[in-house]
Amino acid sequence: MTSRRAVLGSALGGTALAALPQAAQAAQAESAGPAGVAAVVTRTPWKLRNRMDSDSAWSGFLREQDLLWRRLPTLWHEGPFLGDGRLGSMIYREPGANAVRFTVQHGEVQDHRPELGSGWGTCRLPVGHLTLDPVGTITGVNWRLSLWNAELTGTFTTDKGTLTLAALIHDGVLAARVTADGDEEVHWTFHPEDAISPRRISEAPPADYVPNPPWTTRTTGDIEQVLQPLTGGGQTATAYRHAGDTLVLTVAHSHPSDTRAGDTSLSRIRRTAASYAALRTPHTRHWHAYYPKSFVSFPDERLQSFHWIQLYKVASASVAGGPPMATCGPWLEPTPWPAVWWNLNVQLEYWLIHGSNHLELDSLATTVRQNQEQLTANVPTAYRSDSAGVGRSSDMYANRGVGRPGTGAEVGDLTWALHNVWLSYRHSMDEKLLRDTVFPLLRRAVNYYLHFLQPGDDGRLHLPSTLSPEYPVVPPQDTNYDLALIRWGCTALLEAAERLGVDDPLAPRWQETLARLTPYPVDGNGFMIGADTPYAQSHRHYSHLLMVYPLYLVNWDQPEQRELIEKSVVHWHALTGAHRGYSYTGAASLYAMMGRGDTSLTYLKKFFDPTTRYPCRANTHYTEAGPVIETPLSASQSLHDMLCQSWGGVVRVFPAVPSTWPDVTLHDFRTQGAFLVSAVRTAGTTRFVRIRSLAGEPLCLRHDLTGGPVTAELDDGTPARTSTAQDGTLTIELAEGREVLLYVGERPELVIGPVAPGERGEAWGLP
């Protein structure tokens, strides 16, 4: 009998697992065609030779990815950026002055007046900025943002001399060391900023808005503090000390306490070492342990550098247990978006942490777990006994009410965010995460939908009017956005209940919903927005295509759906005008699912095309009226989708590699089922695939190994037990902690290392 563990994970995203491992002997292994598995006669253990196994190798490789400045940046999206998941700083010229600005912003600093909405009442609030004020006129800079050390170093020259700087952020402290030569001197100034919503650049405050009180200052020994009380209760406190050549600064925020932030910031600075070198040691130790968790290299020099900068960026912007990434990240600038946006932004922000093997950055999962009571309070009172939700935008505590279906409300955002948390579960197979976070919250999110589903004359279940995010028409019934999320949610709940051994009384209702839910509305151009509402005007979101990506409920493994999928994607991009950066990254991922690497890369590169209206900026950040962090991070996920995918219970290695990338190295790429994948491609041919199981889940694999029967060896050199389905999917028995190696012909050299650049590109920054 097939075990329960063997089938879990197969239903989501399309095709069920094809064939489970059989007790076939190696001597009877299939040998016909490229999908066949050759008999293995060797019993010699094997091991990867990793050229990236030393600090010197990583330092040299990442140095080639660093951002450089030979001109003084004048805007936030041109300059260096530092962060530790909470505290953040961007460095650029002080507007209208002969000085360098170091912004001081913090992801936990927010207002606390929910009655005024997330744009004004619970928005992220400015803290202030430092300026480094030289004596002479600045004439040039030579800066490097080291990814390996997460540190800004360099000089800037003036007509009086030179200032040499080094700066980092670690464990809540911004540290900067500056020395002067010639007639230059070091002068630091902290400039507090008004605690008012950055949204004021686009609209006036609400009529009943009461400004926050003015800030005050306090000196304790050699430590200066700026204390900002808040009308809604709470306090923000900035503390700093400049001693010798080193400045250290920290920010704390408390609510409802009006004094605790001041005490916390003072205590932290008192505990902080006065020596920059002493601060740098634990900082670099942390980052040097971060990068080697995974490795990827491909021959597009500028795009490869971009990808590694995103891995630096996401670790600078997020950490598990910290605040969820606001749309601006921790780098607050004047913006209409000073909050967490739940209808696409927060989801795209976190996708790349899964494949890159950095689940320690998942502040979204910890946010929803810690705020389950608030998510329950967000739905109307009549539904709080069994439902939960979140409105379009919120503060760090997910405090934003959600409307009722039937009123045109945007209802599905929590369900979509929980798909991200489900992905974290599937990539870790952490049953605690499933039991304590995903299952109870998804149960409530789906329940909210179930209150409003009603049978129609056709016998199908229908949903009253809801909003397909940002599509500017009267909200229709049966929006594809919500139908896709309902289908995914019910399927995930049934899988979770079986995995957890829960006999849930709602299971029959989830099964009935899947059986009776109305089909996705479709017309001659593909998927519609909703019933009687075609996709008829340009739309930057792909909310009407969620069933294709990222949910994979309708997917390329279903031949009968391919024409509909392609027609829908083509029509989405045929209506231009409203497209933004993530319209291109989304299309790139959709075409990667189709296996079309060249088309995928073409769309991805539109995001980097300076002639487009909203391109990637000089420091790899992105702006739509203000900082918008999700799009560059999603571009890295598009790269992931070209190189390795896992959905529908199948791991897909090199599914959509562009033809211009003959050489690719992938190492310890994490997939669903908690597998670590390593693979090397040279001269357009995949040489080997190695997979390590972290959880003992069933392994079903699609690969592009060609040229003869495939050899499958376990890590001790013995043959792996395998079977091959008609569609070529290879099923491999792989116990927890074991590894399997696949190759064709003689065992190749098993070397992990960077590939040579094929397409040259200049460094990011202002080189």
Residue 5 has what pLDDT? 36
Is it the case that residue 10 has pLDDT exceeding 50?
no
In a domain, 462, yes or no: yes
In a domain, 698, yes or no: yes
Tell which of 498, 514, 541 closes a domain.
541
Measured between alpha carbons, how far apart are the two ends of the chain, in Å? 63
Q: Judge if 111 and 226 occupy the same domain.
A: yes
Q: Judge if 104 and 218 occupy the same domain.
A: yes
The whole-chain average pLDDT of the chain stands at 94
In a domain, 433, yes or no: yes
Is it the case that residue 764 has pLDDT exceeding 50?
yes
Residue 36 has what pLDDT? 54
Q: Judge if 227 and 138 occupy the same domain.
A: yes
Nearby residues of 610 by Cβ (< 8 Å), 6 or more positions away:
none
Residue 468 has what pLDDT? 96
Structure tokens at 247: 């400045």
Q: Judge if 237 and 277 occupy the same domain.
A: yes
Is it the case that residue 62 has pLDDT exceeding 70?
yes
Residue 42 has what pLDDT? 54
Q: Domain containing 127: what range?
A: 68-293
Length of the chain: 767
How far apart CA 762 and CA 300 sit, in angstroms, is 11
Residue 14 has what pLDDT? 40
Is it the case that residue 27 has pLDDT exceeding 50?
no
Q: What is the mean pLDDT of residues 63-74?
A: 98
Is it the case that residue 17 has pLDDT exceeding 70?
no
How far apart CA 25 and CA 41 sit, in angstroms, is 12
Q: Judge if 285 and 413 occupy the same domain.
A: no
In a domain, 112, yes or no: yes
Structure tokens at 572: 């989405």
Q: Are strands 81-83 and 526-527 parallel, antiparallel or unpaired?
A: unpaired
Is it the case that residue 126 has pLDDT exceeding 90?
yes
Residue 19 has what pLDDT? 33
Q: Are strands 67-69 and 138-146 parallel, antiparallel or unpaired?
A: antiparallel
How far apart CA 609 and CA 603 sit, in angstroms, is 10
3-state secondary structure of 527: strand
Q: Judge if 120 and 35 occupy the same domain.
A: no
Sign of CA dihedral 351, 357, 361, 367: positive
Residue 561: how many other CB atoms lie within 10 Å: 17
Residue 274 has what pLDDT? 85
Query: What's the structural domain count of the chain?
Result: 3
Nearby residues of 578 by Cβ (< 8 Å), 6 or more positions away:
537, 538, 539, 540
Nearby residues of 431 by Cβ (< 8 Å), 6 or more positions away:
499, 500
Give the strand order in the sheet containing 216-220: 216-220, 223-229, 235-243, 246-254, 173-182, 161-170, 151-158, 138-146, 67-69, 765-766
Q: Judge if 102 and 250 occupy the same domain.
A: yes
Is it the case that residue 637 has pLDDT exceeding 60?
yes
In a domain, 408, yes or no: yes
Residue 673: which of 14, 79, 12 has the closest Cα? 12
pLDDT-derived band at 33, boundaries 50, 70, 90: very low
Tell which of 541, 576, 599 closes a domain.
541
In a domain, 757, yes or no: no
Q: Judge if 241 and 371 occupy the same domain.
A: no
Distances (CA, A) of 163 to 97, 130, 181, 496, 524: 17, 16, 6, 58, 64
3-state secondary structure of 298: coil
In a domain, 564, yes or no: no
The angle at the Cα of 649, spanning 647 to 650, to the nearest 5 degrees, equals 75
Is it the case that residue 261 has pLDDT exceeding 60?
yes
Q: In degrees to the nearest 10, what's the CA dihedral of 77, 628, 265, 216?
A: 80
Q: Judge if 113 and 219 occupy the same domain.
A: yes
- Model confidence pLDDT, tens digit, residues 669-684: 999 999 999 999 999 9
Q: Judge if 30 and 116 occupy the same domain.
A: no
Tell which of 541, 557, 576 closes a domain.
541
Nearby residues of 164 by Cβ (< 8 Å), 6 or more positions away:
154, 155, 178, 179, 180, 181
- Model confidence pLDDT, tens digit, residues 434-457: 999 999 999 999 999 999 999 999
Distances (CA, A) of 758 to 70, 80, 300: 25, 27, 6
* pTM, two decimal places: 0.95
Q: In degrees to the nearest 10, what's the CA dihedral of 599, 601, 602, 607?
A: 140
Residue 39 has what pLDDT? 52
How far apart CA 547 and CA 13 sit, in angstroms, is 8
- Model confidence pLDDT, tens digit, residues 291-329: 999 999 999 999 999 999 999 999 999 999 999 999 999
How far apart CA 637 and CA 588 sit, in angstroms, is 10
Q: Judge if 167 and 83 occupy the same domain.
A: yes
Which CATH number goes with the domain that contains 80? 2.70.98.50
How far apart CA 188 and CA 241 sit, in angstroms, is 10
Is it the case that residue 18 has pLDDT exceeding 80?
no
How far apart CA 663 and CA 554 sit, in angstroms, is 31
In a domain, 321, yes or no: no
Distances (CA, A) of 101 to 66, 79, 126, 190, 264: 21, 10, 14, 10, 25
How far apart CA 264 and CA 287 sit, in angstroms, is 25
Residue 37 has what pLDDT? 60
Which CATH number goes with the domain that contains 36? 2.60.40.1180
How far apart CA 80 and CA 102 sit, in angstroms, is 10
Range list of H helices, 19-145: 55-63
- Model confidence pLDDT, tens digit, residues 39-54: 555 579 999 999 999 9
Q: Judge if 40 and 105 occupy the same domain.
A: no
Which CATH number goes with the domain that contains 503? 1.50.10.10
- Model confidence pLDDT, tens digit, residues 383-420: 999 999 999 999 999 999 999 999 999 999 999 999 99
Residue 21 has what pLDDT? 34
- Model confidence pLDDT, tens digit, residues 640-671: 999 999 999 999 999 999 999 999 999 999 99
Burial of 447 (0-12, 13-18, 19+ CB in 10 A): buried
- The DSSP H or E segment spanning 562 is helix 562-574
- Model confidence pLDDT, tens digit, residues 336-353: 999 999 999 999 999 999
Q: Are strands 161-170 and 151-158 parallel, antiparallel or unpaired?
A: antiparallel
Structure tokens at 720: 């792996």
Nearby residues of 590 by Cβ (< 8 Å), 6 or more positions away:
542, 545, 548, 549, 565, 569
